[in-house]
Amino acid sequence: MDILVFGKNGQVATELSRLAVGDLQLTLLGRDEADLTQPEFCAEAIGAHRPDAVINAAAYTAVDKAEEEEALAQVVNADAPAAMASTCADLGIPFLSISTDYVFSGEGKAPWRPNDQTRPQGAYGRTKLAGEKAVAEAGGLWTILRTSWVVSAHGNNFVKTMRRLGAERDSINIVADQIGGPTPAADIANACLTIARRMSEPSPPSGIYHFSGAPDVSWADFAREIFNQSDIDCAVSDIPSTDFPTPAKRPLNSRMNCDTTLRDFGIKRPDWRKGLEKILTELKANPSS
């Protein structure tokens, strides 16, 4: 199977690159090969490669900066996926695009289901939701995989930030009223491949699905587990989101109901604590990651 992946240098694509074994061939495109600020180039890349499936793992993810650069985020998060999805529909190629829980309001405590009403609270969520709608409207065979709190040994993420700050300080204040499921990028990569393979089979399911790590936890408790597994002696003090204002509003509720993902693809929610162990092992072996 030949899969074309957009977002070569991102966390998920980095993990995808490690899975190219046996009959699986992955072609990963970075900004040099397909700049998402120029959606037409993304469409041309798909036409030139003619893969068996396309995975869009690229996005504008600077949540706070998006408040000032919504037009740019709109191009990357909505216009580019729209061009990809349209080309895939024309060529009969299955298309999978990764999205986010930020398309919801972030209110309440019930885990978000794929068909729940969307109501993004900021530019990042608005542009990702616009991308979802564009992909669906393009037709063809498509799947949206919403996820949350992505972490890995590469790029910028909460695990790496906590390890750095924990080594520098004796104590740290962390938000405790935002609840969600940390999701190792390696698990997302495996889920994407499972879905892509299934989409290439007869009568595949399609639509919007959710995937996040379990159990749900607060950022503060996530930090405690990072310090515990890292043997870092740094005390964590719980604070409310109001004590840590940001340009973009963060969702208090990032819980995700992943039942349909299990039902249609056989993909279970991964235990993020086990994924964290693997991430920390890699970081210890490669401190410069």
Which residues are the active-site residues? Answer: 124
Map residue 105 onto helix, strand or coil.
Answer: coil
Whether the CB-CB separation of 179 and 217 falls below 8 Å is answered with yes
3-state SS assignment for residue 56? strand
Give the Cα separation of 4 and 26 in Å (integer): 6
Mapped onto helix, strand or coil, the DSSP state of residue 273 is helix
Query: Which residues face 143 on adjacent strands?
Result: 96, 207
Alpha carbons within 13 A on the beta-carbon side of 73: 20
Given a contact cutoff of 8 angstroms between Cβ atoms, the answer to whether 75 and 39 are in contact is: yes
Strand pairing category for 179-180 and 150-151: unpaired
Strands 95-100 and 53-56: parallel
Rg (Cα) of the chain, in Å, rounded?
A: 18
Q: Are 82 and 138 in contact (CB under 8 A)?
A: yes
Cα→Cα distances 54→6, 18, 23, 83, 133, Å: 8, 17, 16, 12, 18
Rounded CA-CA distance 52/26 in Å is 10
| Residue 176 Cα to chain centre, angstroms | 22
